[in-house]
Structure 1
Amino acid sequence: MTQVANGAELHAPTETRSIINPATGAEIAVVPELGADAVDAAVAGALTAFESGPWPAMVRSERARLLLRIADAIEGASEKLYTLEALNNGRPITETRAQLSRVPEWFRYNAGLLAAQRQAVLPGDGPYLTYQQRLPLGVCGIITPFNHPLLILARSLSAALANGNTVVVKPSEMTPLTTLALLDIMTEAGLPDGVVHVVTGGRDAGIRLTQHPDIAKITLTGGTEAGRAAALATAARFARVTAELGGKTPVVVFDDVDPTAAAEGAAFAAFVAAGQSCVAGSRFLVQRGIYDAFVAALTVRATAIRVGDPTRPDTQMGPLISARQRDKVRDLIETGVAEGARLAAGGGIPELPDTLQDGFFLEPTVLADADMQMTVALQEIFGPVAVVIPFDDEHDAVRMANDNRYGLGAGVWTTDVGRAHRVASRIVAGMVWINDHHRLEPSLPWGGVKESGIGKDAGTESFDDFSWIKTIVVRTAAEPVDWYGGAGQGRLN
């Protein structure tokens, strides 16, 4: 059966899509290729579940308990999910295990926020009791990317469900498998029918979801242009939108650190997920005093990274998601060299066993001696490419870090505590890591500024944004009100 909603078959498509293992180029699954009609059916089903189903009206403690059961069920299926995601998006099993083992935390965190939620009582003058209620928005749409499909979904889905919303999910057309597996897990854990719907499809399905008049909020992780289109579509009907978009993350390395230790630590920023992350450290800004030593150490580390079969526990970097993405990254590397950057490491296709010859692999790459005007310093690469640029002093570093249209994340490496806080406060980015990179918690609001998006995913900010506030004013005085008869004229508003 083609299942696109928990407990219900909504659409019988005539078109299908092959899901490819990027490490081998082989087909590993076939899913329905659904479009606008399927989105309409899914939204209608979710709206029915919201208006007449048990989920929004469920006692909060009961809803929280169900989210905790879902978290436990995800843990029980963890090994299956690790392997499935590694096969589907090519990330090494060590990365998927480290990342997906944290997915249950988001369900537990939002269940805790739900259980602890208080309704505000507001101060005011006169014989009045004023209080607020938080109510679910309705049907929410979640559009997820290929690079972190399950974790990014869990961040928004757990918050949306905790608040009593129903949800339509449109996963990346390339990586829907763990999303579909999660749907089965939640259904078996007791999630009522119709609360979550999954529509597998491409661009048409995503556009329709953002434009659908019954969608109260869109949460999207993707490219900046997709986010811009979603923001325009939701603005037309005054729906909410959270968009986590592109990035060109600067990693600022000062000359008070050990260059080898900093290079080995910061390499994670550039090469985790084969560089296919919005917060990938693709711009290394290194102070001149340690510049040559840092480049040398980063080159050694990049060259030593073990590229190969993502299902093997000794693999440190897998393939890119597709041949198209690999070709795009290679073109950008060639552009960087043509514009004057030095190819210090990588840039080619690694030598791998015959079973991986049709995979979409690329060597970890270091482009040194770049400058801020080069294409590779300005454009998001979304591949395993570290661009290294020298700077002179702290003022220079901050200016260069902020000289970009994105503002998602940043890294600062220094042993000077005062400098760490000064620079972090001056960098225009939604998140700054000091002497580390890409660390997150369920309580950490995730999101950027400028063209990196709007709104926050995770944290109480995300939890609260999946509800709306109603203010209720109760007059408690015993005497009657008769404005036109002269009673109660001491105050108009």
Structure 2
Amino acid sequence: MTITDTRAPEAPSGAGTRDIVNPSTGQVIRTVPEHGAAEVDSAVAAAKQAFESAPWASLHPSERSRILLRIADEIEASTEELYRLEALNNGRPVTETRAQLSRVPEWFRYNAGLLAAQRTAVLPSDGPYLTYQRRAPLGVCGIITPFNHPMLILARSLSAALANGNTVVVKPSELTPLTTLALLPILERAGVPDGVVQVVTGAAEAGRRLTEHPDIAKITLTGGTETGRSAAVATARRFARMTAELGGKTPVIVFDDVDPREAAEGAAFSAFVAAGQSCVAGSRFLVQRDVYAAFVEHLTARALAIRVGDPTDPGTQMGPLISARQRGKVADLVDSGRAEGARITAGGSVPDLDGDLAEGFFYSPTVIADATMRMGVAREEIFGPVAVVIPFDTEEEAVAMANDNPYGLGAGVWTHRLDRGHRVADSIRAGMVWINDHHRLEPSLPWGGIKESGIGKDAGIESFDEFSWLKTVVARIAPDSVDWYGGAGTERLN
């Protein structure tokens, strides 16, 4: 595979196109069709026909499992070109995209393993009955992915959907469709039948139609909270299933029993990886007062030392934001924090870069100290390389501050006290909590939040099971017949 193998479905004559921009330079790197509602309808119809003709759903689970394993092998063989393509498309440094995409095959192997080992239950029944359960695929599933982790987030849901025999329509972010399109020939080589996976390259209209389409049995969406709210209403109208990973404002609590340098250097990853464009980015650092000043000093030093530049350079540690619009939003929020009295100890501006990079959408790693919980920077999702640092005094206060937010996706706790770590993790209202680490994930770990951070789980057996429906079969095995109205068998109501 080469990076030129990024084929999008044809758009009707006269339909528009979209320029795909390298966020490091602002230059166009590819043009794809701008699909809308009509193209979504066509893609869903093709996926439905592929499902109903049953070349995929009717395969024995062991054969589907083998194909998923071949997908993993094909992705592994293509990892270098895929991670370079992703770095070109979304601006993350190749060190990050290499590390992330090298793990993508794990999700296909994990779900292949779940499929191969899948069991259904025989249930206890009174009397002469054999009661058992079967699982069946849902049908056509829609997967809507974001710009920040295009391939990894797609793999989490796609591997589970395919394992269960579904067909799929994927709508990647209109900003970053290239690795999703590059996956199509990989699936073909691995043996996935034609029509089983469809891709539409559109924006809001395409996403809205996919969530509203009457033939979509399940939507998996990663995006903003308002987008998720609209999708939830659309799917609820027809009682379709939905999994949504939405916004976040992740608290990272640092207690005074840890070395502030150790905590700052470890926690910096949570704030600045992916240029802070992650739903679980550590954006609220709640630091116990005795180590507050030292933590701010060390986090500031780490932020100032991060090498910002060309994502294709292996020496680069942070790339650009995805767009000029996103950079403007981040800059406005930082300015609001400054205006409200917070102290900018690092960044807070656009870095001075040369050549083509001067036209990119870069923003310096930023530390905002002496913030309060009432400031906008402490409450709103920034989605940029900005760490907001707030002091606290007691454990109870830290937990209350951590929970004082409408989101509940992730949280971090830094402490060397075992009892405190588990106690605080148990008290935080979030779907995922890391102790002395951040953003750790595995195919077996259910990923998802509560409150306005979404519903349902990606990854893990919880996600796998949500891509099928459960059927209960009750078989009467007694030799005699039942004649309720003739007086036989009236000792109980069936």
Q: Same fold (TM over 0.5)?
A: yes
| Letter matched to residue 155 of structure 1 | R
Counterpart Cα distance in 1 of 2:30 and 2:11: 20
Q: Could you tell me which residue of structure 1 aligns to residue 309 of structure 2?
A: 308
CA contact (8 A) 2:132 2:472 kept: yes
Counterpart Cα distance in 2 of 1:14 and 1:289: 61
1:169 CA displacement: 0.2
Counterpart Cα distance in 2 of 1:126 and 1:376: 64
1:353 CA displacement: 2.0
Q: Could you tell me which residue of structure 2 aligns to residue 250 of structure 1?
A: 251
CA offset digits 1:459-478 (Å, max 9, x no partner): 00000000000100000000
Aligned in 2, Cα 1:13/1:445: closer, same or farther, shift over 3 Å?
farther
Number of aligned residue pairs: give it.
490
| Letter matched to residue 321 of structure 2 | L
Aligned in 2, Cα 1:13/1:122: closer, same or farther, shift over 3 Å?
farther
Aligned in 2, Cα 1:4/1:484: closer, same or farther, shift over 3 Å?
farther
CA contact (8 A) 2:7 2:182 kept: no
1:447 maps to 2:425:
no
Aligned in 2, Cα 1:371/1:63: closer, same or farther, shift over 3 Å?
same
1:395 maps to 2:396:
yes
SS at match of 1:489: coil
Counterpart Cα distance in 2 of 1:460 and 1:53: 24
Aligned in 2, Cα 1:209/1:84: closer, same or farther, shift over 3 Å?
same
CA contact (8 A) 2:430 2:449 kept: yes
Q: Could you tell me which residue of structure 1 aligns to residue 268 of structure 2?
A: 267
Aligned in 2, Cα 1:357/1:237: closer, same or farther, shift over 3 Å?
same
1:474 maps to 2:470:
no
1:304 CA displacement: 0.2
Identity of aligned residues (%): 75
CA offset digits 1:46-83 (Å, max 9, x no partner): 00000013100101000000000000000011001010
RMSD between aligned residues: 1.1
Aligned in 2, Cα 1:86/1:205: closer, same or farther, shift over 3 Å?
same
| Letter matched to residue 216 of structure 1 | A
CA offset digits 1:304-350 (Å, max 9, x no partner): 00000000101000000001100110010000000111001001111
Counterpart Cα distance in 2 of 1:129 and 1:14: 57
Please say which of residues 39-48 and 349-358 is displaced more in the overlay.
Answer: 349-358
Q: Could you tell me which residue of structure 2 aligns to residue 110 of structure 1?
A: 111
CA contact (8 A) 1:21 1:28 kept: yes
Counterpart Cα distance in 2 of 1:203 and 1:159: 25
Q: Could you tell me which residue of structure 1 aligns to residue 137 of structure 2?
A: 136
Q: What's the TM-score once normalised by structure 2's chain length?
A: 0.98
1:4 CA displacement: 4.5
Q: Could you tell me which residue of structure 2 aligns to residue 160 of structure 1?
A: 161
SS at match of 1:282: strand
1:478-489 mapped onto 2 (5 Å cutoff):
478-489=479-490
1:355 CA displacement: 2.3
Aligned in 2, Cα 1:3/1:356: closer, same or farther, shift over 3 Å?
closer
Q: Could you tell me which residue of structure 1 aligns to residue 385 of structure 2?
A: 384
Aligned in 2, Cα 1:13/1:137: closer, same or farther, shift over 3 Å?
farther
CA offset digits 1:414-455 (Å, max 9, x no partner): 000000000000000000000000000000000000000000
1:13 CA displacement: 5.8
Counterpart Cα distance in 1 of 2:152 and 2:472: 34
| Letter matched to residue 211 of structure 1 | E
CA contact (8 A) 2:482 2:489 kept: yes
| Letter matched to residue 344 of structure 2 | L
SS at match of 1:444: coil
SS at match of 1:367: strand
Gaps of 5+ in 2: none
SS at match of 2:424: helix
CA contact (8 A) 1:252 1:397 kept: yes
1:139-288 mapped onto 2 (5 Å cutoff):
139-288=140-289
SS at match of 1:31: strand
| Letter matched to residue 480 of structure 2 | E
CA contact (8 A) 1:2 1:12 kept: no
| Letter matched to residue 396 of structure 2 | H
Counterpart Cα distance in 2 of 1:310 and 1:80: 14
| Letter matched to residue 180 of structure 2 | T
Aligned in 2, Cα 1:356/1:3: closer, same or farther, shift over 3 Å?
closer
Counterpart Cα distance in 1 of 2:275 and 2:6: 32
4+ residue runs over 2 A deviation: 1-5, 9-14
Q: Could you tell me which residue of structure 1 aligns to residue 369 of structure 2?
A: 368
Counterpart Cα distance in 1 of 2:356 and 2:34: 28
CA contact (8 A) 1:159 1:463 kept: yes
Q: Could you tell me which residue of structure 2 aligns to residue 33 of structure 1?
A: 34
Q: Could you tell me which residue of structure 1 aligns to residue 128 of structure 2?
A: 127
Gaps of 5+ in 1: none
Please say which of residues 349-358 and 245-254 is displaced more in the overlay.
Answer: 349-358
SS at match of 2:359: coil
CA contact (8 A) 1:307 1:317 kept: yes
Counterpart Cα distance in 2 of 1:97 and 1:357: 25
Counterpart Cα distance in 2 of 1:332 and 1:268: 21
| Letter matched to residue 92 of structure 1 | P
Counterpart Cα distance in 2 of 1:419 and 1:32: 53
Counterpart Cα distance in 1 of 2:293 and 2:260: 9
Counterpart Cα distance in 2 of 1:4 and 1:147: 20
Counterpart Cα distance in 2 of 1:418 and 1:462: 31
